[in-house]
């Protein structure tokens, strides 16, 4: 359900790619993502070399692909490449359901690819993580979602490797799938609160020609260009008056001057977790972790880089759908992202039974290691919960 570029397309040159590597290292950027809504990365004739270069320079490397061009050789390369994650864009369970979404796609081909990924990855001692990511329209019934999960189970994939979500309107470019209107936020979104978009704060997107956009998610047509990596540094672009004006518009709760952001529903979705959908047998009851960040208090201290939501996936696997949660914070389990510094823990969750997906918050101050996280079955007051150690 991604938007598609109308003019912004081409193959990145070796020189531009090397410039990106050098600049990201200089700015202490730690992760590179190939693909996503920017086009199919495996179309590039040199994509495997680019992956090798990224990994060799120590970047946490992810690749997002529709999988259509992954033969056994390419899958074998990815299995041993050292990348962090292989994300496959997929939704459906048979020829009709898949090919109605992936135009010109062949279900027989992607079925073979999904089976081969599992088979080949299992042969390697430390293969990348796998994430099957797909979109299911609001109009689809629960039994449709269940069929997707059953199909992926039959291919060998587990719940932790499957991520089916409801669509966003992709910067106002796509129908919101709830009201069937292009460029308008859905009724559900309109009930949510605007927040500073994490897509905006956590990264930038770099086009094939070196142009840089402030929005690495939905801006594949170059409407939010903040500079060109061939002409200035990423840090200078992020310090520019144009970029800071974008941030200020969010802080002022007034996006009217931002063409894409004013129509986009992505900034409204993170905290309320309205996008995620599950099969019926996992249930729609219990606690659902929305976001969890470990060491946020260390952000910016002594050059420490802390990403929002850095332990979200880990705690989702540990806690989701349980009726009550209680565990001891362990730095060895969460990962020490700021060695030698005391770290706090911030958790946001909701209760799946709640149709409004009301967010609740738990804050455990530094040092969080060794303290107990206790999330109750329900908190009727809906206020921020504080650790007993605070």
Model confidence pLDDT, tens digit, residues 256-281: 899 888 888 777 655 434 446 667 66
* Closest listed residue to residue 8, CA positions, set 171, 228, 211, 198: 211
> What is residue 190's predicted lDDT score, i.e. its pLDDT?
47
Distance, in Å, from the CA atom of 308 to the CA atom of 293, rounded to the nearest integer, reads: 6
**388 pLDDT higher than 60:** no
**8 pLDDT higher than 80:** no
Q: What mean pLDDT value characterizes the chain?
A: 83
Which helix (H) or strand (E) is 89 found in, with range? strand 85-89
Instruction: Answer for the pair 299, 250: CB distance below 8 angstroms, yes or no.
Output: no
What are the tens digits of pLDDT across the range 215-262? 988 888 888 999 999 999 999 999 999 999 998 888 888 888 998 888
What are the tens digits of pLDDT across the range 118-142? 999 999 999 999 999 998 887 788 8
Q: How far is CA 381 from CA 162, 360, 361, 368, 378, in A?
A: 33, 10, 12, 25, 9
**149 pLDDT higher than 90:** yes
Q: Which residue is it, tokens 């001057």?
A: 257
The CA-based angle 61-63-64, given to 5 degrees, is 150
Distance, in Å, from the CA atom of 366 to the CA atom of 92, rounded to the nearest integer, reads: 45
In angstroms and rounded to an integer, the radius of gyration of the C-alpha atoms of the chain is 21
> What is residue 97's predicted lDDT score, i.e. its pLDDT?
96
Which token pair is 260? Answer: 């894409």
């Amino acid at each position: 359900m991604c938007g598609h570029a109308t003019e912004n397309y081409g193959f990145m040159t070796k020189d531009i790619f090397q410039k990106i590597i050098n600049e990201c290292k200089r700015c202490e950027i730690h992760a590179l993502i190939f693909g996503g809504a920017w086009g199919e990365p495996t179309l590039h004739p040199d994509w495997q070399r680019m992956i090798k270069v990224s990994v060799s320079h120590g970047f946490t490397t992810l690749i997002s692909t529709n999988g259509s061009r992954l033969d056994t050789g390419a899958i074998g390369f990815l299995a041993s490449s050292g990348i962090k994650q292989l994300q496959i864009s997929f939704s459906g369970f048979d020829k009709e359901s898949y090919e109605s979404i992936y135009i010109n796609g062949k279900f027989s081909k992607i079925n073979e690819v999904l089976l081969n990924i599992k088979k080949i990855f299992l042969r390697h001692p430390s293969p990348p993580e796998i994430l099957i990511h797909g979109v299911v329209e609001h109009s689809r019934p629960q039994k449709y979602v269940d069929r997707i999960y059953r199909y992926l189970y039959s291919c060998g994939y587990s719940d932790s490797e499957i991520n089916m979500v409801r669509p966003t309107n992709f910067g106002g470019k796509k129908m919101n799938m709830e009201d069937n209107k292009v460029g308008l936020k859905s009724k559900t979104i309109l009930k949510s609160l605007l927040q500073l978009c994490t897509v905006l704060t956590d990264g930038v997107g770099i086009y094939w020609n070196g142009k840089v956009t402030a929005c690495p998610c939905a801006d594949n047509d170059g409407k939010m260009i903040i500079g060109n990596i061939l002409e200035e540094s990423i840090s200078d672009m992020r310090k520019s008056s144009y970029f800071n004006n974008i941030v200020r518009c969010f802080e002022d709760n007034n996006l009217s001057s931002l063409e894409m952001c004013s129509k986009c529903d992505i900034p409204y979705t993170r905290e309320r977790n309205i996008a995620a959908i599950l099969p019926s047998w996992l249930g729609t009851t219990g606690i659902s972790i929305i976001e969890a960040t470990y060491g946020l208090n260390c952000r910016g201290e002594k050059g420490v880089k802390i990403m929002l939501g850095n332990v979200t996936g880990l705690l989702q696997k540990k806690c989701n759908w349980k009726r009550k949660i209680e565990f001891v914070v362990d730095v060895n389990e969460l990962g020490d992202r700021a060695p030698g510094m005391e770290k706090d823990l911030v958790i946001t969750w909701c209760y799946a039974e709640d149709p409004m997906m009301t967010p609740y918050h738990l804050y455990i101050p530094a040092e969080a290691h060794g303290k107990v996280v206790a999330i109750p079955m329900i908190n009727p007051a809906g206020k921020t919960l504080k650790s007993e150690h605070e």
